[in-house]
Chain A
Amino acid sequence: MRKILGNILLSAGVCFTLYSGLMYFQSISPRTVSFENAFPQNINYDTSVDSPERLIIKDLGINLPIVPTQISNNQWGLTDSGVSYLATSPLPGNQGNSVLYGHNWKSILGNLQKVKVGDTIDVVYKDGSKEFVVMYIQIVSPQDISVLDPTEDSRITLFTCTGFLDSKRLVVSAREV
């Protein structure tokens, strides 16, 4: 009986340890916040002058630097110190769909899961800020790249990973006011 109990505990221990290792790998992998088969066009602005600097969601206590990134060799660039801005998408505040994303770590976008429709998101530039209002919150699969498609309005699409082993994307769409 003891042997069986010991084996069960050993098995469970191995599984828990493997699971934690898998979670760790997922949490540090840029793939966890990417969308598959999405290849936006080239950068069309001067990143040294026009780049957005900070993303603020006051209701959630989020105030993070924005780091411009790109997709290179099918890998989404990703910063560990703030929010990544896909520099091939329109600048936040310009017409179109601006794409921002980040880890779901507590220090980055972990609180994004508490966002509500109607919350405001501020994108701060050197010379002012743009305000956006959350209009949609949806959890999608990484294959649902339509969330990145161009739009006629001026909006930001902010997403992070969520779900079992970060297998889903929490997508927040906010329109400029």
Chain B
Amino acid sequence: MKSITATGSILFVISTLISLISPTNAFAIDIISFPVCSNPQGELKVSYAEGNHAIVGDRNTHQGSDNVYDLGKGNFMQCYCSDDGSGIQTNWLKIADIADKEIDSYVKLGWIFVPDGAVWGLNGGAYLAKNSTLSCGSIQSTPTPTSIPSTSSGVGGVITETAASTSSDPAPVLGLANSGTAKEIAYFTIVGLACITIGKKIKAY
């Protein structure tokens, strides 16, 4: 009985660890591979060198530059760069009518549901939007825009009431762990071996 309990607890911890590092969700929507703002692709639709902009999922206004690229099939990429060099990339994924349950699944993954993209200067219909942070400078890649709207109603150009608030602010771009270093490997090895040794002694005591 004891050995079963021990084996069970070990399997539980290992399976929990594996579940944390394994992709688990499969969805009906094909999430396209969005380019990144450092090397934008698609057709530049809107470009503001300066001004106040709205970012989906954030009720604050943001001062800086804003470029929007049309990636085709109703999908867009928005590249905002603040005057102080902190930027936000927003991926706009056009979606067809999908069930609320599936929308909730995406929201749990950090996507923001936007019922009508037209409010944000995009095509009509529902969108999923996702923000990520970046650092950017004043030297930006600005391919020649093929069409610039005469009004300031492009994505991020106006504040709207549909900007949903979110409590999960993205982490600073330079704040991520530097995984796999010798120091960390040694740390986890030592802690692991110590735990095994102590655990064995406690059991044998």
Which residues of chain A have a CB within 8 Å of any CB of chain B?
2-20, 23-24, 26-27, 32, 97, 104-106, 110, 113-118, 133-140, 143-149, 151-153, 157, 161-166, 168, 170-171, 173, 175
Number of B residues contacting the other chain (C-beta, 8 Å)?
Answer: 60
Which residues of chain B have a CB within 8 Å of any CB of chain A?
2, 5-6, 9-10, 12-14, 17, 21, 33-39, 41, 85, 87, 89, 132, 134-137, 139-141, 143, 173-174, 176-189, 191-203, 205
Contact between chains at B39 and A27 (CB < 8 Å): no
Contact between chains at B13 and A11 (CB < 8 Å): yes
User: Total contacts A to B, CB within 8 angstroms?
Assistant: 208
Nearest first, the 9 A-B pairs at minimum CB distance are: A16-B192, A13-B195, A9-B199, A13-B196, A6-B203, A17-B192, A136-B38, A146-B35, A27-B180
CA distance A123 to B151 in the complex (A): 44
Contact between chains at A16 and B35 (CB < 8 Å): no
Q: Can you offer 29 A-B residue contacts whose CB atoms are under 8 A?
A: A5-B202, A8-B9, A10-B195, A10-B196, A11-B12, A11-B199, A12-B13, A12-B195, A13-B191, A13-B192, A13-B193, A14-B13, A18-B14, A20-B188, A20-B192, A26-B180, A97-B39, A110-B181, A116-B85, A117-B137, A118-B137, A136-B134, A137-B135, A138-B135, A149-B41, A151-B39, A157-B38, A166-B179, A168-B176
